[in-house]
Amino acid sequence: MKPLRPGSMRPIDFTSGRVDLTHGSGGRSMAQLIEELFIANFDNEYLRQQNDQAVFEVPKGRLVMATDAHVVSPLFFPGGDIGCLSVHGTINDVATAGARPLYLAASFVLEEGFPLADLRRIVRSMAKASMEAGVPIVTGDTKVVEQGKGDGVFITTTGVGVVPEGVSPSGDRARPGDRILCSGSIGDHGVAIMAQRESLGFSTTLESDTAALHTLVERLVKVAPDVHVLRDPTRGGVAATLNEIARQSKVGMLIREAAIPVRQEVKAACEFLGLDPLNVANEGKLLVLCAPADADALLVAMKEHPLGRQAAVIGAVHEDPNCFVQMETVFGGKRIVDWLAGEQLPRIC
Amino acid sequence: MKPLRPGSMRPIDFTSGRVDLTHGSGGRSMAQLIEELFIANFDNEYLRQQNDQAVFEVPKGRLVMATDAHVVSPLFFPGGDIGCLSVHGTINDVATAGARPLYLAASFVLEEGFPLADLRRIVRSMAKASMEAGVPIVTGDTKVVEQGKGDGVFITTTGVGVVPEGVSPSGDRARPGDRILCSGSIGDHGVAIMAQRESLGFSTTLESDTAALHTLVERLVKVAPDVHVLRDPTRGGVAATLNEIARQSKVGMLIREAAIPVRQEVKAACEFLGLDPLNVANEGKLLVLCAPADADALLVAMKEHPLGRQAAVIGAVHEDPNCFVQMETVFGGKRIVDWLAGEQLPRIC
């Protein structure tokens, strides 16, 4: 490719420059941003081709596709930022089909005036997350909207992956008797964001759990290819996710409060903020529903993985035409785990 | 699946209701919006599964992936709206790899307070475009941002498709001697949007050319599998697209002004607005670069297709270390077809 900058164009000022409308206009400024920011950091042969799409070989079989818009506020938070979150979130949505994520696409809606230094920090975080996960960002798009018509940066990531033969977890495959496993402590992401937003003091000790779950999933589907359901409890938390699965599979569930891993800081923050950890978002946790015969092996496999050290069996599935999710509380009673109409925490991811 | 609404929840009010933050919260309101709006209109087995991803079979071979954010303003314009545009735009980015588009993903960033009636109109337009094209929307995501932090609705669509054996058009494959073909009149989309935005009188006669080009591409790659470059001249128009290709392939180009199809209304509007039709966006036009031996057959094939009736050979490629795109004007002179730094028309797509 012929170099874009023939002497007359200056390099982009990533120290004090700001996004302007020309960066999304299809002209030379946009091409320069793509080269000096996106291609420079994401760095792969697909992007360097600079076509409007990426072409790659796939094996015959079942492909999975997932997309997620990310509008988290604030953009930077303890333990992460919108950049790594947008990579992890979509990798996880691909992985929870039991799939091996292959490639990502990223589209940006930037607000005019957004500091280019912040944008570069976000892009570098995406690049790091993508490289650590081994899932390259192979194509993308950038649009710019006028100041006051966006909010810094929104990122939509889309991922594709391949599902191994014989593996087909799905929200409608929970069966009475199934065990419910959770890979670790819940509520970390939502509380970390909320603490940052409300300038609460515990923000220093608590971090988002944002992480890519695909290597954990890969291990689990090897141990138990027939695993029934895999899902990451993001927006709406464990409560919404279990209610969704109960509705999809037309079953009831009973979980035990004492078995659910929750950090002390999360408990304290939730009490202070009037939240239930079950309703709070996670970005690096996995819920697994499986036949009882598979539960022990899966639990062991989870605990052996860095992202599953605190894994626990938190409950079981039973017949229930009402599809209620219930919880045995630490006080010995039972209560319905409600699926809220909304959520207390907008723009959590 | 168990019905979501057990009597207590009312159907969504698509007449006078508005988007609120609960519609993006991961709770029951979001599930209701997904069921009553997206699944009801996009209507396919993949979405009905209500998992966080879609799983489908693909043949072995080369897959293509493209993503596009759509932030067009206004949302509704003569000849289309952000809904059908977001379907056509991504289908075209997949198709210009020479591929057959298979599936789409759609992610929405909605602004709190946006009328649900407008959202339904947009979603119906997407559904119509997707069904007419035969490319289903199989997975998606919805986020809501506070009033004043977005602008009605932004839509990112991502597409995957399969590239036939032996076909590999790419922006770096233009060669000296290649012919440059254009599928029809240029500048229609940009001028239609601009007319709407500026309330110019000619908006009644001129419509956006937004259209899905994949059936045209399918025909062309059958006629000439070795076609060198396919690209849709969207943002930045024909001028930016040819300059990009010239830079990617390290060649020069000469186009003839007299050969380029431009509607009389577009010419008039461009004169009035101080624009050059070459810089104005198109959303249903195709540029084709091919070996001279393929040019006649491709031109005939284009003219036989409804979207290529006005197709013309508009120029040729030659050696040029400077990678200049030049135009022989109707007055007989020659001028450089510049690649603007920005564009006169922000948020055109």
pTM > 0.95: yes or no: yes
Residue B60: CATH number of its domain: 3.30.1330.10
Q: Is A237 helix (H, G, I), strand (E, B) or coil?
A: helix
Query: Which residue in the set B97, B146, B235 is minimally distant from A26, CB to CB?
Result: B235
Reported as half-sphere exposure (CB side, CA atoms, 13 A), residue A137 has a value of 34
Residue A199 confidence (pLDDT) above 90: no
**Token pair recorded at residue B215:** 């059936």
Cα–Cα dist B349/B191, whole Å? 12
B340 interaction partners in chain A (CB closer than 8 Å): 25, 27-28
Q: What is the average pLDDT across A332-345?
A: 84
Q: What are phi and psi of A233, to 5 degrees?
A: -80, 80
The answer to whether the peptide bond before residue B59 is cis (omega within 30 degrees of 0) is no
Cα-based distances in Å from A304 to A9, A182, A308, B172: 53, 14, 7, 48
Judgement on whether residues B189 and B137 belong to the same structural domain of the protein: no
Cβ within 8 Å, pair B65-A56: yes
Cβ within 8 Å, pair A105-B49: no
Cα–Cα dist B30/B36, whole Å? 10
A276 interaction partners in chain B (CB closer than 8 Å): none
Q: Is B118 helix (H, G, I), strand (E, B) or coil?
A: helix
In a domain, B243, yes or no: yes
Judgement on whether residues A235 and A276 belong to the same structural domain of the protein: yes
B58 interaction partners in chain A (CB closer than 8 Å): 58, 60-63
Residue B198: CATH number of its domain: 3.90.650.10
In a domain, B106, yes or no: yes
**Token pair recorded at residue A304:** 């052996």
Cα-based distances in Å from A139 to A42, A43, A56, A95, B208: 10, 11, 11, 20, 26
Cβ within 8 Å, pair A150-B150: yes
Q: Is B40 helix (H, G, I), strand (E, B) or coil?
A: helix
Query: Which residue in the set B1, B22, B69 is minimally distant from A247, CB to CB?
Result: B1
| Last residue within a domain, chosen from B163, B196, B213 | B163
- For A340, nearest residue in chain B (alpha carbons): B27
Domain count, chain A: 2
Query: Which residue in the set A21, A339, A347 is minimally distant from B145, CB to CB?
Result: A347
Amino acid in the structure at residue A96? T
- For A168, nearest residue in chain B (alpha carbons): B55
* B 315-334 → A contacts, CB under 8 A: 323
Which residue bears the tokens 């076509």? A51
In a domain, A15, yes or no: no
Query: In this predicted model, what pLDDT tens digit does every residue of A278-317 receive, in sequence order?
Result: 999 999 999 999 999 999 999 999 999 999 999 999 999 9
Judgement on whether residues B127 and B258 belong to the same structural domain of the protein: no
| Last residue within a domain, chosen from B129, B163, B197 | B163
* B 206-265 → A contacts, CB under 8 A: 231-232, 234-237, 240, 244, 246-248, 250
Query: In this predicted model, what pLDDT tens digit does every residue of B51-109 receive, in sequence order?
Result: 999 999 988 889 999 999 999 999 999 999 999 999 999 999 999 999 999 999 999 99
B50 interaction partners in chain A (CB closer than 8 Å): 171, 244, 248
In a domain, B1, yes or no: no
| CB neighbour class for B11 (10 Å; exposed up to 12, middle 13-18, buried from 19) | exposed
B168 interaction partners in chain A (CB closer than 8 Å): 55
Q: A269 vs B178, which has greater pLDDT?
A: B178
Query: Which residue in the set A28, A71, A158 is minimally distant from B143, CB to CB?
Result: A71
* Mean pLDDT over each residue of chain A, to the nearest integer: 94
The dihedral built from the CA positions of residue B301, B306, B310 and B316, taken in this order, carries a sign that is: negative
A324 interaction partners in chain B (CB closer than 8 Å): none
Give alpha helix (H) positions in chain A: 28-33, 40-42, 45-48, 82-95, 116-133, 188-198, 214-223, 237-249, 264-273, 292-304
- For A8, nearest residue in chain B (alpha carbons): B341
- For B70, nearest residue in chain A (alpha carbons): A143
Judgement on whether residues B101 and B239 belong to the same structural domain of the protein: no
Contacts of residue B339, defined as CB under 8 A and 6 or more positions apart, other chains included, come to A27, A28, B236, B239, B240, B243, B244, B325
Judgement on whether residues A128 and A204 belong to the same structural domain of the protein: no
Judgement on whether residues A194 and A148 belong to the same structural domain of the protein: no
Residue A203 confidence (pLDDT) above 60: no
Cβ within 8 Å, pair A341-B148: no
Contacts of residue A140, defined as CB under 8 A and 6 or more positions apart, other chains included, come to A34, A38, A42, A47, A105, A106, A107, A108, B67
Give which of A36, A6, A5 is closest to A23, Cα–Cα: A36
Start-to-end Cα distance in chain A: 37
A88 interaction partners in chain B (CB closer than 8 Å): none
Give which of A116, A132, A280 is closest to A192, Cα–Cα: A280
Calculate how close chain B gets to A133, using CA atoms only, in Å.
Answer: 19
DSSP element (H, E) containing B83? helix B82-95
Any A CB within 8 A of B150 CB: yes
Judgement on whether residues B95 and B184 belong to the same structural domain of the protein: no
A231 interaction partners in chain B (CB closer than 8 Å): 52
Q: Categorize the per-residue pLDDT at A84 as very low, low, confident or very high, splitting at 50, 70 and 90.
A: very high
Domain span holding position B204: 179-336
In a domain, A9, yes or no: no
Q: What is the largest CA-CA distance in chain A?
A: 74
Interface test with A, best of B34, B39, B51 (most A CBs within 10 A): B51
A50 interaction partners in chain B (CB closer than 8 Å): 171, 244, 248
Amino acid in the structure at residue A102? L
Judgement on whether residues A185 and A331 belong to the same structural domain of the protein: yes
Cα–Cα dist A230/B44, whole Å? 22
Calculate how close chain B gets to A310, using CA atoms only, in Å.
Answer: 25
Interface test with A, best of B114, B143, B338, B349 (most A CBs within 10 A): B143
In a domain, A278, yes or no: yes
* A 48-107 → B contacts, CB under 8 A: 49-71, 93-94, 96-97, 99, 103, 105-107
Cβ within 8 Å, pair B60-A55: no
Cβ within 8 Å, pair B67-A141: yes
| Last residue within a domain, chosen from B116, B137, B163 | B163
**What are the residue ranges in chain B where pLDDT is below 50?**
none
DSSP element (H, E) containing B222? helix B214-223
Specify the length of chain B in residues: 349
Do the Cβ atoms of A304 and A235 come closer than 8 Å?
A: no
Interface test with B, best of A156, A245, A251 (most B CBs within 10 A): A156
DSSP element (H, E) containing B126? helix B116-133
Judgement on whether residues A203 and A326 belong to the same structural domain of the protein: yes
Judgement on whether residues A328 and A183 belong to the same structural domain of the protein: yes
Contacts of residue A340, defined as CB under 8 A and 6 or more positions apart, other chains included, come to A236, A239, A240, A279, B25, B27, B28
pLDDT of residue B203: 53
Interface test with A, best of B22, B34, B44, B65 (most A CBs within 10 A): B65
Task: Label the pairing between strands B100-111 and B76-77.
Answer: unpaired
Judgement on whether residues A183 and A148 belong to the same structural domain of the protein: no
B61 interaction partners in chain A (CB closer than 8 Å): 57-58
In a domain, A249, yes or no: yes
Any A CB within 8 A of B281 CB: yes
Cα–Cα dist B159/B97, whole Å? 12
Give which of A182, A207, A191 is closest to A84, Cα–Cα: A207
In a domain, A31, yes or no: yes
Cβ within 8 Å, pair A142-B69: yes
DSSP element (H, E) containing A158? strand A153-163
Amino acid in the structure at residue A349? C
Which residue bears the tokens 């935005």? B197
Query: In this predicted model, what pLDDT tens digit does every residue of A25-61 receive, in sequence order?
Result: 888 899 999 999 999 999 999 999 999 999 999 888 8
Which residue bears the tokens 């912040």? A118
Task: Label the pairing between strands A153-163 and A100-111.
Answer: antiparallel
- A38 sits in the region (left: phi over 0; alpha: psi -120 to 50; else beta) called alpha
DSSP element (H, E) containing B31? helix B28-33
Cα–Cα dist B54/A96, whole Å? 11
* B 109-128 → A contacts, CB under 8 A: 109
Specify the length of chain A in residues: 349
Cα–Cα dist A53/B234, whole Å? 14
Judgement on whether residues A184 and A322 belong to the same structural domain of the protein: yes
